Amino acid sequence: MKKENLKYKFIELRAMGYTYEKICKQLDITKPTAIKWAKSLSGEIDQQQRHLISKIFSERIIEHEQGVLIRMEQFRRKRYRKLNEKLSDKIDKKLLKGLERVFIKKIKAIHLKMNDDAVTSALFIFDDDIAVEKK
């Protein structure tokens, strides 16, 4: 395997959480090389981890799409009700808790695009700054 391909595979494996020992065995490289690459390629590894996590959340949204769509619709309907602030906040918290159970992550913010009939898209921003968009 060429050095470029080895480094790409190293980034991929390290982003997935493989230990240096497993990576060294699989790629047939030494541990000092793996440590050196981890330091020099840390940005690429972080970027790959974010990509993998984003992909997992996208798949999770699809798995639980019906529950997410129901909660999005509840947010949309709440907009048309004349509720006092205390009740509105209580409903928001309940809806957010339901969404957080789907993602198993703390949601920092949700940006909804709506028309009169439905939610057209939603952007979820999580507590670790990973954003997942579902259209």
Cα three-residue angle 73-74-78, rounded to 5 degrees: 120
Q: What is the pLDDT of residues 64-86, one digit of tens each?
A: 666 766 777 777 777 777 778 77
pLDDT of 53? 76
Spell out, as residue ranges, where the chain has pLDDT lower than 50.
Answer: 130-135
